[in-house]
Amino acid sequence: MIGAGHWCGKPRPIKGLAGISGLFRGLLMRQLVAGNWKMNGLSADLAELEALKGGVGEAACDVLVCPPATLIARATWAVKGAFALGGQDCHAEISGAFTGEVSAEMLKDAGASAVIVGHSERRQYSGETDAIVASKAKAAWRAGLKAIICIGETEAQRQGGEANMVCQGQLAGSVPADATADNTAIAYEPVWAIGTGRTPTSDDIAAMHLHIRRSLVEHLGPAAMGMLILYGGSVKPSNAAEILALPDVGGALVGGASLKAKDFLAIIAACAK
């Protein structure tokens, strides 16, 4: 489970990273598998969290589930600390005349320990800019939540050879300068792979994660070496082991496959393989 003040436990080597620069120590912390339920889930679906609680045991990774905000408080009672709970978004302000919004403090009060910010669906459908995402990350920290900051390129940007540039730009604009491995994780989700059943090749994922690591160190300095970089985009039981074994993949942000305990448990189990 995600404990107070840290995401992870004992570091392990990152293949192919040590020696690139004096800044790179070649360490990756305990992996994190996070489930994003998106706009899915009613009271009856708490049964899936109870099933997850019954099966998660001594997982080889940290586990986080982000259900709809309407379920977080009840989910806290259902899971009884077996794994962590988080929000899917938050407003940058503490409170105020922002009808329909949820503050980071409200999520914390409901039982969340983390929040996703900057998901591509928020960027696309709600027009969120890098600056807005950065302000939400700061709001998460203010409330005592950890932030999972999402980045990723569209299919057109990848085909145009712009994927690295786009992701580096999103990191520079969305990740505040005081981000640390204790308060932030990055989730790389190629937009064209989310919910489509398509995934990049293993080589493409590894190359992008290495590029993100380099970009983070340029942006934040050596402290970025311990920051988790999750992969997201059609992660499922059939491909989880291969993805989670790749260099510098610090875990997974899982969408549809997190809605069913059986599928999510299979992905969690892949961390040990």
Distance, CA of 221 to CA of 63 (rounded, Å): 27
Per-residue tokens: 115: 């929040």
Alpha carbon distance 91, 75 (integer Å): 21
| H or E element that contains 74 | helix 72-79
Active site residue 101: no
CA distances (Å), origin 251, targets 38, 84, 96, 244, 246: 19, 15, 35, 6, 10
Residue 105 is among the residues annotated as catalytic for this protein: no
Active-site option among 48, 189, 209, 211? 189
Catalytic residue among 119, 128, 209, 211: 119
Two tokens, residue 42: 């009613």
Alpha carbons 45 and 51: distance in angstroms, whole number: 10
Just list the catalytic residues. Answer: 119, 189
